[in-house]
Structure formats: structure tokens, C-alpha cells
């Protein structure tokens, strides 16, 4: 037995040395190297710890000082609730979990600080689909976009499960090293409950999410919301525009959260999925929200909303003055074509003056930045090479976008994107991870 233990100890030491050698061997010329390999404290097959991607969520968040890391595992299956419960339980399939890791400084080791669960774990809720942290890492928002409660607003009845895929967001805060749930956040128009013979129709609140640096402003996208409202704080009880999408803005005063705005596109249209991606500036006063299946024909910034290029996609810019939100920009690619899908992901600078958007199905084979070939008639090639556009604010007006194309010869695989109202399929995971192979 002692010999076996000695063998195990020697093997463990050899493994640790090998891992350290592998890490240290990483490119010294760039000054970059791997400093940690992080796993869940309760790994199980299919948990998807570190989940991410255009169709899969965004489950990894790092604080501004780099000392707090939050990692979601949306298919973790414990029935534990809130913080540091029984993580060995596997009774609630794909309830989801988030793991918080911390370090004292840039050279100290990482350790797990908390195992975080929803206060109402539900089968298939996928808590941890999106995870975001404030700059100091002391506020964390976590979405479960398949959560099924019919509750509305803040801290409602989370034990209800009458609207499949309604979605919810949970806000947690840290005092010292202790985490606790501060708010259970729902849309103000959760969706439609099921009736006899018909399933409920949820809006997937929490499909996208962004948090300001101070943790006091939260933007949440519901890409499958169905209202025909336009602009700010319209009629959210309307359900006539399938999967038009919406964004909800919440603010915190002390420890209390309230909804500040219900945000819709100025040209609300069915099935464009406004809110597919959202991003807030550091101060929370500028919001970028996309509708990747928007079909406007424009190729300029703040052009007309005339339809004509189905699925070309758009990004909308909103700004806040005091407590009032207004739309400032309507961004289109300068070579927009049908099916390009601008806005599958958006990002915004800290000052809110620069916005970048991904165009995963753009077909231009040119290379570099602002290539001489404008590639404004290549839809028929259907290459899905992809591109990105960058827009910069000048005197409260966003100028013509610049376009960055991938370099010729780079590997690019076609990504499938959900084009229809999530919720029509009986297999929630299958319909989110797959869809028609291109825009229509």
C-alpha cells in the first residue's frame, strides 16, 4: 500500500512538474503565458463549463482588475439553491451553475470562492447562459434564458413555471468574500402563459446581457419578445409582432433594482430578434443593441428604414440623459446585403464612442481594412467569410462605418444561426444550437 501511495505521489508530482513546464514553455518572446487551468469543483459530462459562442451564450466574465473570474456551466444539473449548496446533487437537468474564482494579485494563484446557483433551479433553465461582472468584481449578473416563471419585474414569484423559456436574470453581490443574491429580475411583459392544448410562449429574457462598470445599470435582451411597440416605453402588452425582440434597462439605487426603460427598435419588424446582442458603455449611458435579421435596405448610418435587404442586420445606439433614453444611431454596413447578419455580436468602448459589430454571413473575399474592392454584390457566392464593422461617434452623430475583412487564406467555417422564433420546437437545445444554414 505504501508503495502504491508513493507511486501515486511521484506520478502526481511528475504531472504537476510537466504542467508547470508546459506553461513556462509558452512563448516567452511575447511575454504571454498560461498561468491557470481552471475546472469546475463538480465536473460532469455535458455541463459545458466555460460555455460561449454566438448561439451558445457568454459564460465567462473577468473583472476590470483581473482578480475575479466568473465561469458559467449552463448545463450543470445540481438542485442546489443560491450560494455554496450541495454541488454533488444531479437531480435538476441543465439547471446551470456559476463558479467564482479569485486571486489576491496578478501573481498569486486562483482559488474558487463561490459555487452559485439560481434561487429557483429549474430543469433546462440554463442558469449561466450569460455571466457579467462589474469592474471591481463585486456585482455579478447571471441569466437563465430558459427559466419558466410568469413573474414580472423585481423579486416576483419565482416558484411559478407556467411560461417555458420566459427567462430570468439574477443579481449577486459580494461583501468581503461572501456572495448573496440581491435581486431576481424579470421582464415587465414576461410572455404568454400556456392555455389548454397550447404551450406557453416565452420571450427568452436574458439571451443577452450587459452590466455597467459600477454595476448599477443592467441591460437585458429578450430576442424573442413579440411586441409591435417602437422606441422607448411603448405598449409592451401587445403580442402581434413575433420575435421582434426587446431590451430592458434596470438601475440600482442602494440595493434596490427598478426597471428604467423598455427599449424597442424604431422600425420594429417580426422575426428580426432585436436584443440578440447588447453592450453598455462603462458608465451605462450608452447602449448598443442589435437585430441581426433586420432587413433595411440602407447602407449608411441613420439612413431610412425602408426594407429591401432581408437579414442584412442592424445595430441601434441609445443614449441616456438623466433617466431618459433616446435612440441616437441606426447603423448599417456600407456594403450591406441580404443575409449578412450584422449584429450577431456587438461591442462598445468604455466611453461609448466606438461600436463594433460582427457580420458572420458576409461574403466578401477581400482582405484587410477598408479594402479597395467594396464587395457590395457578392451575396450569390454565399461564402460566409464574415466581417466586422466599426463606427465612431462624432458630435453625437455616428459616421459611415469602416469595415474589416478577414485576411485571405484564413480558416472560416460557416455558423448556423437561429432564424425563427425560439420556442416553436419541442427540443429547446436543438433549436438554439442549430437552425437554417443561412439568412432568408
Q: Which of 289-298, 300-309, 350-359, 372-381 has the lowest mean pLDDT?
A: 372-381
Q: Residue 434's pLDDT band (boundaries 50, 70, 90)?
A: very low
Over range 97-111, report the average pLDDT: 97
pLDDT tens-digit profile of 353-410? 999 999 999 998 989 999 888 787 777 788 999 999 999 987 444 444 454 443 333 2
What is the domain extent for residue 100?
47-433
pLDDT of the residue at 26: 54
CA 277 from chain center: how many Å? 6
Q: Which three cell numbers stand for residue 417?
A: 444561426
Q: Is residue 440 part of a domain?
A: no
425 versus 214: the higher-pLDDT residue is 214
Q: Sign (positive/negative) of CA torsion 330, 335, 338, 340?
A: negative
pLDDT tens-digit profile of 4-25? 343 333 334 434 444 444 445 5
Q: Which of 107-121, 196-210, 264-278 has the lowest mean pLDDT?
A: 196-210
The answer, yes or no, to whether residue 2 has pLDDT greater than 60, is no
Contacts of residue 72, defined as CB under 8 A and 6 or more positions apart, other chains included, come to 49, 50, 51, 57, 59, 60, 96, 97, 98, 99, 127, 128, 129, 130, 131, 142
Q: Is residue 403 part of a domain?
A: yes
pLDDT tens-digit profile of 168-199? 999 999 999 999 999 999 999 998 887 776 77
Q: What strand order describes the sheet that includes 178-185?
A: 52-53, 57-58, 130-133, 139-144, 168-175, 178-185
Task: Provide the domain count of the chain.
Answer: 1
Burial degree of 44 (CB within 10 A; 0-12, 13-18, 19+): middle
For residues 126 and 94, what is the distance between their CA atoms, to the nearest angstrom? 6
The CA distances from residue 104 to 71, 83, 339, in Å, are 18, 21, 47
Q: Is residue 418 part of a domain?
A: yes
- The mean pLDDT value of the chain amounts to 85
pLDDT of the residue at 402: 52
Query: What's the CATH number where 108 sits?
Result: 2.130.10
Q: Which of 50-59, 206-215, 273-282 has the lowest mean pLDDT?
A: 50-59
The CA distances from residue 29 to 17, 20, 21, 26, in Å, are 22, 18, 16, 9
Q: Is residue 182 part of a domain?
A: yes
Q: Is residue 24 part of a domain?
A: no
For residues 106 and 67, what is the distance between their CA atoms, to the nearest angstrom? 7
The CA distances from residue 365 to 81, 340, 362, 383, 402, in Å, are 50, 14, 9, 8, 16
Q: Is residue 33 part of a domain?
A: no
From the DSSP assignment, how many helices (H) and strands (E) are in the chain?
A: 2, 25
Contacts of residue 125, defined as CB under 8 A and 6 or more positions apart, other chains included, come to 94, 95, 96, 118, 144, 146, 147, 148, 168
Q: Is residue 399 part of a domain?
A: yes
Q: Is residue 5 part of a domain?
A: no
pTM of the model: 0.85
pLDDT of the residue at 1: 41
CB 397 within 8 A of CB 386: no
Amino acid at each position: 500500500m505504501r508503495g502504491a501511495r508513493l507511486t501515486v505521489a511521484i506520478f502526481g508530482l511528475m504531472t504537476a512538474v510537466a504542467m508547470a513546464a508546459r506553461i513556462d514553455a509558452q512563448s516567452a518572446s511575447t511575454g504571454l503565458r498560461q498561468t491557470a487551468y481552471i475546472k469546475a469543483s463538480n465536473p460532469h459530462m455535458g455541463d459545458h463549463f466555460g460555455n460561449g459562442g454566438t448561439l451558445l451564450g457568454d459564460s465567462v466574465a473577468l473583472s476590470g482588475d483581473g482578480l475575479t473570474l466568473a465561469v458559467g456551466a449552463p448545463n450543470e444539473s445540481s438542485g442546489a439553491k443560491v450560494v455554496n449548496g450541495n454541488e454533488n446533487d444531479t437531480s435538476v437537468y441543465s439547471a446551470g451553475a456559476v463558479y467564482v474564482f479569485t486571486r489576491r494579485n496578478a501573481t498569486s494563484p486562483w482559488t474558487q470562492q463561490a459555487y452559485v446557483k439560481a434561487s429557483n433551479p429549474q430543469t433546462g433553465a440554463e442558469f449561466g447562459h450569460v455571466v457579467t461582472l462589474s469592474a471591481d468584481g463585486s456585482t455579478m449578473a447571471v441569466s437563465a434564458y430558459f427559466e419558466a416563471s410568469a413573474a414580472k419585474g423585481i423579486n416576483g414569484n419565482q416558484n411559478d413555471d407556467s411560461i417555458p423559456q420566459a427567462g430570468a436574470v439574477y443579481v449577486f453581490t459580494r461583501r468581503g468574500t461572501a456572495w448573496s443574491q440581491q435581486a431576481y429580475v424579470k421582464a415587465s411583459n414576461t410572455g404568454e402563459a400556456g392555455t389548454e392544448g397550447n404551450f406557453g410562449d416565452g420571450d427568452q429574457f436574458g439571451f443577452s446581457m450587459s452590466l455597467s462598470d459600477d454595476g448599477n445599470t443592467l441591460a437585458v435582451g429578450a430576442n424573442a419578445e413579440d411586441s409591435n411597440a417602437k422606441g422607448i416605453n411603448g405598449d409592451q402588452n401587445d403580442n402581434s409582432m413575433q420575435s421582434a425582440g426587446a431590451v430592458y434597462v434596470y438601475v440600482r439605487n442602494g440595493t434596490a433594482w427598478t426597471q428604467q426603460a423598455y427599449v424597442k427598435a424604431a422600425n420594429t419588424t417580426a422575426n428580426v430578434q432585436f436584443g440578440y446582442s447588447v453592450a453598455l458603455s462603462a458608465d451605462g449611458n450608452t447602449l448598443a443593441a442589435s437585430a441581426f435579421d433586420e432587413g433595411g435596405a440602407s447602407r449608411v448610418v441613420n439612413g431610412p428604414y425602408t426594407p429591401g435587404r432581408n437579414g442584412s442586420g442592424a445595430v441601434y445606439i441609445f443614449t441616456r440623459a438623466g433617466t431618459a433614453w433616446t435612440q441616437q444611431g441606426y447603423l448599417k454596413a456600407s456594403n450591406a446585403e441580404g443575409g449578412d447578419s450584422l449584429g450577431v455580436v456587438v461591442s462598445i468602448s468604455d466611453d461609448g464612442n466606438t461600436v463594433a459589430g460582427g457580420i458572420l454571413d458576409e461574403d466578401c473575399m477581400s482582405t484587410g481594412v477598408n479594402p479597395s474592392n467594396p464587395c457590395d454584390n457578392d451575396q450569390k457566392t454565399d461564402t460566409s467569410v464574415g466581417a466586422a464593422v466599426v463606427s465612431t461617434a462624432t458630435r453625437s452623430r455616428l459616421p459611415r462605418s469602416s469595415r474589416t475583412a478577414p485576411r485571405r487564406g484564413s480558416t472560416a467555417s460557416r455558423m448556423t444561426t437561429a432564424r425563427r422564433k425560439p420556442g416553436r420546437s419541442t427540443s429547446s437545445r436543438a433549436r438554439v444550437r442549430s437552425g437554417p444554414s443561412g439568412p432568408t
